[in-house]
Amino acid sequence: MDKPDLLWVNLTVSLKEAELPAGFREYFNIRSCADTFDLDRIIVGRPPQLLCFDFDYPDRAGLRLLLDVKSTHPSLPIIMLTLQHSEALAIWAFRSKVWDYLVKPVPRHETDRCLRTLLSAMSYSRNQRRRVPAIQQDGLPDEVSIRQRPADTMLSPAIYYVEKYYRSKFRIEDVAKVCGMSPFRFSRAFKESIGKTFRDYTIDYRLKEACRLLENPGTTVTDVSYAVGFNDPSYFARVFKQRIGMPPSMMIGQTKSRAKRAETESADLELSHIVS
């Protein structure tokens, strides 16, 4: 089976020495684009199934280019790679509808999770009515060196709270208290800063963890739903399909078969090969 095309937009400083994280070649045919002036022409002339914007430390020109491409080609998924680990940058990428934000060096299991989930969603969506995502026209991060805005700093405890307690049920009043705010002020500040409600953010985080757990071919949808904080497996399955684009039960089977297929196809590949 032919692998889909990935267009690698290499914006790193050391272009000749750069390479994609191990594992990408198992899932995609890699094409490289270092001349960003021709990027749109390349996309239109031979449309890829995925774009990968690879940064060391993003500058405004590179992030503006990503925004312009996403605006022109809204249905084309984008993965963002960067050496810069910043909550503010991750929030900006999320609000700009980037499929995933990966910090280098990317662990192999994280690469597999990201690409398997993406390919499964792409496979399922081929037979579904295409929906063009709405792109929020946010400005670039205030830093791009990167400093957090005061509002983001105040909300950091809420982000960490979700990461630690997403498996359990918790009240927004408790999270607001951790941030030193009233529930009303917290809800308003979170929506203004993150671009979605705290409830939606929590659901999306739980679904991301669910995708990781569904990589285990021996798991069940019911077990995963409880493991990530959903008390109703039916509700979990419904929300998963709405937001991920495919039923969680299909994710298990597709992940397993795709993983086996990738292992077979990549047996003779040299994963440390430098992309020219």
CATH top class, domain 1-144: alpha beta
- As a whole number of angstroms, the distance between CA 188 and CA 87 comes to 19
**Looking at residues 154-174, what average pLDDT do you find?**
86
**Please, are residues 198 and 175 in contact by the beta-carbon 8 Å criterion?**
yes
pLDDT in tens, 56-74: 888 888 888 999 999 999 9
Sign of the torsion angle spanned by Cα atoms 62, 18, 103, 4: positive
More confident: 242 or 16: 242
Q: What is the pLDDT of residue 142?
A: 54
Largest CA distance in the chain: 58
**When comparing pLDDT for 259 and 207, which is higher?**
207
The set of residues, in sequence order, having a beta carbon less than 8 Å from that of 57 and lying 6+ positions away, is: 82, 83, 84
Q: Report the 10 Å Cβ neighbour count for 235.
A: 11
Top-confidence residue, 146 or 113? 113
Share above pLDDT 70 across residues of the chain, in percent, rounded to a whole number: 77
If you average pLDDT over residues 104-122, what whole number do you get? 85
Burial environment of residue 174 by CB neighbours within 10 A (0 to 12, 13 to 18, 19 or more): exposed
135-145 pLDDT, tens digit per residue, is: 454 555 555 54
**Which has more confidence, 270 or 52?**
52
What confidence tier does 44 reach under pLDDT thresholds 50, 70, 90? very high
Residue 80's pLDDT is what? 94
Map tokens 């946010």 to a residue: 138
Rounded to 5°, angle at Cα 62 from 56 and 65: 150
Mean pLDDT of the chain: 79
Percentage of the chain with pLDDT > 90? Answer: 28
Say if pTM beats, i.e. exceeds, 0.75: no
Least confident of 38-47, 97-106, 245-254: 245-254
Tokens matching residue 263: 């292992």
